[in-house]
Amino acid sequence: MMPMRSLGEVFTAKRGMSVIKGLFGSIIILIILGLLGCAQPTGYTKANPPWTAGYGYSDKRINGDEFSIVVTGNPLTSKPRVAEIALLRAAHLTKEEGLTHFVIIKRKAETLERAELISIPLWFGGPLVPVPIGEKTTKEPMAILLIRLLPLQPAYPPDALNAAEIIEHLAKHLE
Amino acid sequence: MRLSLKQYGFLSTSDLAAPFRLEVFLIELKQPVSGFTTIVDSVMRYKLTRSSDDRVVYDDIITASYRATMDDAFYGVQRLKLANEGSIRANIEAFLGHLHSLNLTKSPIQ
C-alpha cells in the first residue's frame, strides 16, 4: 500500500510539474519565434506588425498620384530580392488604386546597419527571460521606390510598367 | 529645414520673389525596436523646381543615419530622440551639400 502524501508534498509536486511545463513551453515558443523570424529571407509582407521586426514593405502617398515604397529585408535577404518586393508592392498598389500602369520616378538601394542585442534565455523560476549580454551589428538591405500611377488611357508611354504582368511574374516566388 | 536653408543663405526673404521652390518629403524614419546602440535611418525626398518655368532642377532621395550610444544617453527614449534628430540633421546636411554643387545664387528658395 502506497503511503499517503501530505498536502505540502502534493503542492510541491504540482508546483514542480507547472515549472517544468512553463520551462518547456518557453523553449518551444523561443524555437518557433527563432524559426519564423530568422530562418528565411524576408518575403512579401507588410513591415508594420510587431512580429515582422520591421522587415517587409511600407508605402505612403507622398504627393498626389506619387507613392513611396520602402522595403527592408533581414540579413538573410539579398538586395535583388528587396528590389523585387518593392516592385511587386508597386504593382499591387496600382491595382488597389483601380489602375493598371505606373512609372518609376526614382529607385535606390541601400544597406543599413542595425545593432542587434545578443541575449541568452535565463530561468528565474518562471518562464525563460531573455537577458542581454552584448550587441552585434548586422547589415540589412533596403530598397526605395518612388512611383507615379498613370491614369487609365488607351496608350501608355514606353517607360510605363504593367502592374498585372509584374504580379504574374513576381508573385509566384515572393508571396 | 527653413532654419538650415536660412543659415546657409539659401532661403529667400520673400516667397513671391523666390526663383526656386523646394518640396521636402519624409519617406521613412527607420527606428530600432530596442538596443544599447540606437541607429535611426531617415529617407527623404527633395524636389527643387524653378518657379519661372516649373522645371524640376533637382529631385532625389537622400538617406542618412545616426548612431546614438549609451554614452550619449542612458535612457532609451532619450537615445531614440537623439538618434531621430541626428538622422534628420545628417539628411538635411547631405542635401545642403548637393545644393552647393548646383551653384545656385544665394537666397533663391521658398
In A, minimum Cα distance to B33 occurs at: A53
| C-alpha–C-alpha distance, residues B83 and B59, integer Å | 26
Structurally, chain B folds into a number of domains equal to: 1
A78-87, B15-24, B28-37: least confident range:
B15-24
Are A110 and B25 in contact (CB < 8 Å)?
no
CB distance A141 to A80 below 8 Å: no
Q: How far is A74 from chain B (nearest CA, A)?
A: 13
Are A106 and B59 in contact (CB < 8 Å)?
yes
Question: Mean pLDDT throughout A139-158?
Answer: 96
Are B39 and A113 in contact (CB < 8 Å)?
yes
Are B37 and A132 in contact (CB < 8 Å)?
no
Flag whether pLDDT at A5 surpasses 70: no
* Closest CB to B37 among A50, A108, A115: A115
Domain membership of residue B108 (yes or no) is: no
Flag whether pLDDT at A38 surpasses 60: no
The per-residue pLDDT for B24 is 93
Supply B33's cell numbers. 525596436
Supply B73's cell numbers. 544617453
We report the CATH number of the domain holding residue B88 as 3.30.160.150
Q: Exposed/middle/buried for B24, CB within 10 Å: 0-12, 13-18, 19+? A: middle
Flag whether pLDDT at A108 surpasses 90: yes
Give the ipTM of the model, two decimals please: 0.82
| Domain of B52, in residue numbers | 2-101
Domain membership of residue B27 (yes or no) is: yes
Domain membership of residue B29 (yes or no) is: yes
Domain membership of residue B106 (yes or no) is: no
Torsion, CA B6, CA B7, CA B10, CA B13, rounded to 10: 30
Residue showing cell 543663405: B9
pTM: 0.78
Q: Which residues of B touch A50 (CB under 8 A)?
A: 33
Question: Mean pLDDT throughout A3-26?
Answer: 57
Domain membership of residue B89 (yes or no) is: yes
* Nearby residues of A150 by Cβ (< 8 Å), 6 or more positions away: A65, A99, A100, A101, A102, A103, A156, A157, A160
More confident residue, B102 or A138: A138
Q: 3-state SS of B30-46?
A: ECCCCCCCEEEEEEEEE
Are A60 and B35 in contact (CB < 8 Å)?
no
Q: What is the pLDDT of residues B46-89, one digit of tens each?
A: 999 988 889 999 999 999 999 999 999 989 899 999 999 999 99
